[in-house]
Amino acid sequence: MNEFAPTVAPAAKTLPDAQTVTAVRHWTDRLFSFRVTRPQSLRFRSGEFVMIGLLGDNGKPLLRAYSIASPSWDEELEFYSIKVPDGPLTSKLQHIRPGDQIILRPKPVGTLVHDALMPGKRLWFLATGTGIAPFASLMRDPETYEKYDEVYMLHTCRTVAELDYGRELVTGLKDDPLIGDLAAGRLHYFPTTTREQSPFMGRITDNLESGKVFDYYGIAPMNPEDDRAMVCGSMAFNIDVKEVLEGFGLREGANSDPKEYVVEKAFVGDGI
Ligand code: FAD
Ligand code: A2P
């Protein structure tokens, strides 16, 4: 063996559809957000989701659906993620750092888009947990304020700390050069907790059914002429809130058949 032969380092694995992580922020021991470079060719509608992931132990891509949390005009892409302790993807994804690569399949899809709703006056974003991600995108999209007079963001989590990502985002919008003026006085944020004391308490379903939200803002209850809603949460939440919305006379729409409300699962597999 020639000891002077050049050693060949194993080729660095190049990920298919690789994007580079530019920032990571941990919000709680169960939640983090991160930003990645945006493929030049990627066009998406605010509210859509893509498949992202890492290489699994078997060398094959391990992909999961993720709502894009950044608006469609942003140069980078932002995601807001759960950390499932034994989750195949997030047990690894939670350790990413700036400079690391993730896989991102550039094929955005989803129902939480303006095109899936008929024109209306008031738009309601109804989310539990990480279900706020698509609305983090839509809240920062000028089209939202061009299409609606008033926007209501209802977000419910078990604890106060789990609301932090959304709260910081909404609070920061007033200084946003693009959205600040558009959203001022028209984006109404109603964050509630269910298992820890906070200024606003209770499930979204209860706060809508009891009329507490409408009384708080001094507005008429939801009706199919004026109100449009987008829903994103656990299966249980989605099922229950659909019933509430139907009770107000709203009907479920889709990209191909716009109506008064649309729904997307924030995740699958919670046993329902
Ligand atoms: P998995 O095997 O996928 O999940 C394990 C279990 O963890 C699930 O059975 C479920 O009970 C629970 N779980 C999974 N995701 C969540 C969650 N977000 N909140 C609470 N419990 C959960 N996840 C995000 O964190 N952010 C997103 O923006 C997001 N967007 C999604 C959009 C769509 C359309 C769908 C269908 C799912 C979305 N998810 C999102 C869920 C995501 O696809 C994965 O399930 C999640 O990243 C966990 O992956 P995992 O492989 O670690 O565990
Ligand atoms: P609760 O604490 O009363 O169960 P989870 O972490 O289980 O996904 O829940 C996130 C938030 O969504 C919690 O505040 C929870 O309230 C609420 N939630 C869970 N299921 C429903 C439902 N079926 N209808 C309305 N809110 C729900």
pLDDT per position as a tens digit, 59-81: 999 999 999 999 999 999 999 99
The answer, yes or no, to whether residue 4 has pLDDT greater than 60, is no
Task: Give, using CA atoms, the residue closest to atom 8 of ligand 2.
Answer: 234
Residue 13 pLDDT level (bands cut at 50, 70, 90): low
Query: Are the beta carbons of 104 and 84 closer than 8 angstroms?
Result: no
CB of 203 within 8 A of CB of 156?
yes
- Percent of the chain scored above 70 by pLDDT? 93
Distance 168 CA to ligand 2 centre (A): 21
pLDDT tier at 16, thresholds 50, 70, 90 = confident
What is the 268 CA–ligand 1 centroid distance (Å)? Answer: 6
Closest ligand 2 atom, residue 129 Cα: 10
Please tell me the predicted confidence (pLDDT) of residue 11. 41
Residue 19's nearest CA partner among 71, 68, 83, 73 is: 68
pLDDT digits (tens, 9 = 90+) for 133-155: 999 999 999 999 999 999 999 99
Residues 155-212 have pLDDT tens digits of 999 999 999 999 999 999 999 999 999 999 999 999 999 999 999 999 999 999 999 9
pTM for the full predicted model: 0.95
Q: Give me ligand 2 centre to Cα 157, in Å.
A: 7
Per-residue pLDDT, 256: 95
Q: Is the pLDDT of residue 51 over 80?
A: yes
CB 235 within 8 A of CB 265: yes
Ligand 2 neighbour 135 (Cβ under 6 A):
no
| Helix or strand (DSSP H, E) at 244 | helix 235-247
> Which residue's CA lies nearest to atom 1 of ligand 2?
194
* Domains of the chain from N-terminus onward: 18-108 (2.40.30.10), 114-263 (3.40.50.80)
Distance 237 CA to ligand 2 centre (A): 6
Ligand 2 contacts CB of residue 157 (under 6 A): yes
Q: What is the mean pLDDT of the chain?
A: 94
Closest of 128, 131, 56, 109 to residue 87, by C-alpha: 56
